Amino acid sequence: MTGEPGVSLTELRTGDKARLVSMNPEVELRLFGFGLFPGIEIELLQRFPSYIIRCERTEVALETSVASQVRVTVVR
């Protein structure tokens, strides 16, 4: 995923809001099942022991190996 826009989800700080830009095809279908699509806004609630993000009214836990394959742009 080198050279793609945005940063890895793992680079966000707790409380950061971001917009999903892209994801590795290996995790794409699983994330689509959670309602996570490019363009949707998320908030990072927790980083350890897993990444917990909120998307609208849904909270989703992601392993670090999955979170590292998701690219986002921070929303200010």
Rounded CA-CA distance 46/32 in Å is 21
Query: Residue 5 pLDDT > 90, yes or no?
Result: no
User: In terms of CATH, what superfamily is 7-75?
Assistant: Ferrous iron transport protein A (FeoA) (2.30.30.90)
Please state the rounded mean pLDDT for residues 44-72. Answer: 96
DSSP track, 38-69: TT-EEEEEE-SSSEEEEETTEEEEE-HHHHTT
Q: What is this structure's pTM?
A: 0.89
Domain extent listing, the chain:
7-75
Query: Residue 76 pLDDT > 80, yes or no?
Result: yes
Q: Looking up tokens 């996570």, which residue turns up?
A: 36
Task: Place 45 in a pLDDT band, splitting at 50, 70 and 90.
Answer: very high
